[in-house]
Structure 1
Amino acid sequence: MSDCNDLSQQLIDFIHQSPTPFHATGELARRLLDAGFERLALGENWNLQPYGRYFLTRNDSSLVAFTCADAAFTHRGFRMVGAHTDSPCLRVKPNPELSQKGYFQLGVEVYGGALLNPWFDRDLSLAGRVSYRSTEGTLRSALLDLRDPVAVIPSLAIHLNREVNEKQSINPQTQLPPILALCAEDEAPDFRAQLKRWLTPEHGDIDQVLDYELSFYDTQAPAKIGLNREFIASARLDNLLSCFAGLSALIANSDKADQKAPCLLVCNDHEEVGSQSSSGAQGPLLATVLERILGEREALTICMENSLMISADNAHGIHPNFADRHDSKHGPLLNAGPVIKLNSNQRYATNSETSALFRHLCEQAQVPCQSFVVRSDMACGSTIGPITAAEIGVRTLDIGVPTFGMHSIRELAGSEDVTYLQRALNQFMQLPVLPFS
């Protein structure tokens, strides 16, 4: 239990430092540097060494980290884990200033498939990346995280909407702009000027803020809850929990000089909106990195035949109040181990070989595991798993930690499942040879 509590607290600290994909990628990079990994740049030549440890980022929001084996590792393949850094949220529009009935508000756009109701009546802050022109005339970018609550989206009182508990439809254009301050209707503040004031204490050379990618987030800190603290409640568990578990397993296996196969972690941005971007799973990032590591197409093809990707993304735990939304034979429980996700229509990339291997690894690691198949009369979501399998031709398995309230502003997972997932991934990365013919 002490190991479980320690890992849960590390996850909480990681999520608290990661309100946006930019901050999550920065925190992943910081921890890799602390563990002795060397930073690479995509735009520079690489000089990879046997048993070296490296990482790189793209767009400040996606990351690939890997370890090298000896010169013959092409035939051993990679042990790869994939996750994503983004989560559904509310993004600030380019011309966001609204002044209505004496209140200053910001127009927002819904990013991803967000569960909108929980965003009301929360203490919200702002974070993300801001691009500006310096006083020297150069273009620069900086990360911003206000930390303090600066906005709220108040609910409409039930007295003015008597049917709210029977039906609730949310118009994201008119009902989601957060309130930041009081102001006269003809005096809406200049948001870019406000950003300059927020950034100046740390970046004093700002001439003009030119653009930004900013998201609102809930300031309530992640917490262990329940009578026995068996749950973790937090924003962005989907999918920072998997990023954290993959990072922990990679670092734990990175300093073994006798490792039999190289390991790789890829944390992509834009999964929640389809992954089609330069830093998403449907973009060229991972394929480009692998080609540069291996040097030629034939070596890449051989390596992928001897590799396995575990796509780690949260799964739907069976909700006691909505149990009928699950197939009765496939209802994952919290704190009962990672979930193998299956779909015959390839919304998940799992097949019988990859699922059998994962069950075997879980047995070796003394980790319980479960299965999830969506009800046959419901649509199934997807992950980076099928996309990555199609892009680089690697055997792929989809798994995830069971979760309640997925895509809510505050999700719930089991604290023991964090340890279970990390142990399973650790066992996977120690696998010297894949048992596939």
Structure 2
Amino acid sequence: MKSIDAEKNKSAWNSLEKEDSSEMETFIEEYKEFISKGKTEREASDHIEAEAKKNGFVDLYSEEEENFDARGKYYAKNHGKSIIMINLGEADLIDGVNIVGAHIDSPRLDLKQNPIYEDSDIVLLKTHYYGGIKKYQWTSLPLALHGIVYKSDGGKVSISIGEDTQDPVFLISDLLPHLAKDQNAKKMSEAVTGESLNVIIGNMPCDQEKNPFKSRMLKI
């Protein structure tokens, strides 16, 4: 085994000046806020838009042509799922431009088109995963529902259920340890399958004979 150079591999925190440490803490809190508020592409774009406005950026599509500032700061959104910001600055374009690109990555579970069903007196939602997730990490955790519903009149409603402490939460069940002998013998990538990532949303029936559990959830 190779010896470890303790000085070379010391924590980066130990090399920060006091003012740098304070700046780092501020960055951490801002980043925590961003990933908490931007759990989907739409939410991330909305959060970036709000921060852009705070810093003097103007919606490019809302600006009248005669008011366009050749040295201004503008932003534009693409179907609410991505955003570009432009700071035209003082120098001419012939002198060059700086381009910074970042990908909004939102690993998640999407609902299928007809997701709701009942099984063993439990109501669940069928999902399919998006992004490079470790499927076993998604079980036995409180989950939240985020999304947009478009109404027949063209309006839209933003949905966020499970983030507030008073909200109901959603859950993907897992086997208890003493029932998971066969599961434990599998590779981690096979122990929890994508097809099993169905979300529990309720287990109370109504007085309807057919699908009483599912029917009650659809009436809420």
TM-score higher than 0.5 here? yes
TM-score by length of 1: 0.40
1:192-244: CA deviation from partner (whole Å, max 9, x where unpaired): 765xxxxxxxxxxxxxxxxxxxxxxxxxxxxxxxxxxxxxxxxxxxxxxxxxx
- Structure showing greater radius of gyration is 2
| Displacement after TM superposition at 1:85 (Å) | 1.6
Q: Which has the higher contact order (CA 8 A, sep 6+)?
A: 1
Count of aligned pairs between the two proteins: 187
Going from structure 1 to structure 2, the CA distance change for 1:99 and 1:30 (only over 3 Å counts) comes to: same
What secondary structure does 1:81 align onto? coil
After superposition, the Cα gap between the structure-2 partners of 1:105 and 1:30, relative to the gap in structure 1 and judged at 3 Å, is same
CA offsets 1:163-215 (integer angstroms, 9 cap, x no match): 33331413322x11011110447121487765xxxxxxxxxxxxxxxxxxxxx
Call closer, same or farther: CA 1:20–1:104 in 2, change over 3 Å: same
Q: Is the 8 A contact 2:39 2:106 kept in 1?
A: no
CA distance in structure 2 between the partners assigned to 1:186 and 1:37 by the alignment: 52
Q: Deviations over 1:7-53 (max 9, x none)?
A: 111111122111211111101001111111101239x8685313200
- Residue 117 of structure 1 aligns with which residue? 136
Equivalent position of 1:172 in the other structure: 194
**Equivalent position of 2:110 in the other structure:** 91
Could you say if the C-alpha distance between residues 128 and 117 of structure 1 is closer, same or farther in structure 2, counting changes exceeding 3 Å? same
Distance 1:96 1:2 in 2: 47
1:105-144 matches, cutoff 5 A: 105-133=124-152, 138-144=153-159
The alignment status of 1:9 with 2:25, answered yes or no, reads: no
Query: Gaps spanning 5+ residues in structure 1: where?
Result: 195-437
SS in structure 2 opposite 1:51? coil
* Structure 2, gaps ≥5 residues long: 1-20
Contact 1:97 1:189 in 2 (8 A): no
What is the RMSD computed on CA atoms of the aligned residues?
Answer: 2.3
Runs of 4+ displaced beyond 2 Å: 44-48, 158-161, 163-166, 189-194
Deviations 1:233-290 (A, max 9, x none): xxxxxxxxxxxxxxxxxxxxxxxxxxxxxxxxxxxxxxxxxxxxxxxxxxxxxxxxxx
CA distance in 1, matches of 2:66, 2:139: 48
Instruction: Give the alignment's TM-score, normalised by structure 2.
Output: 0.76
Percent of aligned positions with the same letter in both sequences?
25
- Specify the alignment match of 1:186 in structure 2: 211
Post-superposition offset of 1:98: 1.1
CA drift of 1:84 comes to 1.6
Larger fraction in helix:
2
User: For structure 1, which segment, 178-187 or 112-121, has the greater mean C-alpha deviation from structure 2 after superposition?
Assistant: 178-187
The CA distance in 1 between the partners of 2:61 and 2:218, in whole Å, is 31
